[in-house]
Amino acid sequence: MIRVMVTGAYGRMGREASKAIWNAEDMELVGAADKMGAGLDVGALIGAGNIGVVIEKDIREAVNKTRPDLAVDFTGPQAVYQNTMTHLDCGVRPVVGTTGLDPEQIEEIIRRSEDLRLGGLIAPNFAIGALLMIKFAAEAARYLPHVEIIELHHDQKQDAPSGTAIKTAEAVIEQRGDEFRQGLATEIEKLPGARGGEFAGGIRIHSVRLPGLVAHQEVIFGGLGQILTIRHDSIARESFMPGVLLGIRKAMRLERVVYGLDKLLFE
């Protein structure tokens, strides 16, 4: 049995993760941490009644009390880096679903995990369909290098663009090369930001935040007389849970943190 703790257990993704872990035959939900809901039994949040897993406000205190093998993090972009480093320092393998980490922070987490020989995962998206979207987009970029990305999320998401959009842009760049640039050098934005944020190679990423959305993305390729659109929609948070459970199982066999569930799924 894999002993798992959930950080950010009071939030929507944290509740879904807690429920999935609680119902997994090879896992044991042993701990929970969140600044919100301290003292509550997690079972009351996932419809399981009291299960004896109480939300702690402090991560280290939760780890010391419950001794998990692995911690799943669904907190926020302001806290995720420190949370992850805390888990590693406590000898706990991190599986991070929170986006907002910058490249330098990701590199530092990976270096620290290598020093400690602790496996883990940083996953911008756990939905298998979203990973396939990124894979297909990278393949399409070999033939249609002109591309823009539109990502759409619920209005409570704090970071923009999404980690999935950044991972998609990185995959496209890896295929077509950063030396290719698109767009007019003389392009004028009458309203700053109207053309979205510019990623490497001139790839434009547009972020939409509205109530009613969950997680959606379009990758639009343009060519001579043609358009190719690759789209993925997560219409419920349950869509991420098979990937979360897969990430937990895979992370237990690793000796370093890996960036991207696709690295474990397709390689």
Catalytic residue positions, numbered: 153, 157
Residue among 220, 14, 200, 187 at smallest CA distance from 98: 14
Alpha-carbon distances, residue 96 vs 57, 104, 137, 188 (angstroms): 18, 16, 24, 39
CA 116 to chain centre: 23
Cis peptide before 94 (omega within 30 of 0): no
Report the C-alpha gap between 180 and 173 in whole angstroms. Answer: 9
Torsion of CA 109, 121, 7, 216, to 10 degrees: 110
| Ramachandran region, residue 129 (left: φ > 0; alpha: ψ -120 to 50; beta: rest) | alpha
Structure tokens at 206: 């547009």
